[in-house]
Every structure is written in C-alpha cells, then in structure tokens.
Amino acid sequence: MSTIGMSSVQAALADFIDQRVLSAIGDDNSLLKWAIGGASTVALARFDKMVAGYIPMLTGLGLMDESKNLNIEATEAFVKSAFEKQATVSLPVMGVPITFDKQDGDALVTLLKKYGGQ
C-alpha cells in the first residue's frame, strides 16, 4: 500500500490547480483565473484544517490510514470507479461550475503518485 502525507497531497493539489483548473479557464486576463489562483493559495495554506472534518469519512472509506496518510491505490480505485459511473462532475469554484472528467481524475492520481514518491 502506497500512501502520501497531507503536505504532499497539498503540493499535488497545487500542481493540479495550476495544470488542470487554471489552464482550463484559458483566458490569461480572466478575473476568474486570477481569483482562483489567489484563492487556491490561501485555501491550500489551510488544507490541514479543511480536511480535518473529513478524516472520519476518509478513514471509514479506506482512503486514509490511522496516521492520516492518503492511500494512493484506494484513491485511484475510488476516482476510477466514480468516473466509470458518471463521466463528468461539475464543482462550483468561486461560484462558477468547473467540470472535471476522467482525464482530470487520471492527472490527479498521477500527481499523487509523483508527490508520494512512486
């Protein structure tokens, strides 16, 4: 079982936001891109506090171990299964729905593996 600590998850998410979310917005002069770029830095700085409320659920699903490390294989299985059941998911980011698909899920898992040392 490969795991990744929360500080490394935080780094992987920062890369994911830069590589997938901000690049999907496109226009370099977009207020949304500027706002998400700034807000993501602030939010990721508080990542440990943000995830704290979800630890019991993540542990119960087998996505997190007792040391509060994320299980990469379980996370990959979760993401793969979720996108097999539903091809896209839209999440509101700063009030604007951003749509994620299987390629985004694969990119996130790849980054988790990269930062987890695999």
pLDDT range class, residue 95, cuts 50, 70, 90: confident
Residue 94 scores a pLDDT above 90: no
Mean pLDDT, range 81-94, rounded to an integer: 91
DSSP string computed for 40-61: HHHHHHTHHHHHHTTHHHHHHT
- pLDDT computed for residue 118 by the predictor: 62
Q: Per the structure, how many domains does the chain have?
A: 1
pLDDT range class, residue 23, cuts 50, 70, 90: confident
Residue 117 scores a pLDDT above 80: no
CA distance 23 to 9: 20
Find the range with the poorest average confidence among 26-35, 44-53, 80-89: 26-35
Range of the domain at 55: 3-115
The CA–CA distances, whole Å, from 23 to 37, 71, 113 equal 11, 27, 21
Helices assigned H by DSSP within 5-101: 6-16, 23-25, 31-45, 47-52, 55-60, 72-85
Q: Of all residues in the chain, what percent carry a pLDDT higher than 70?
A: 98
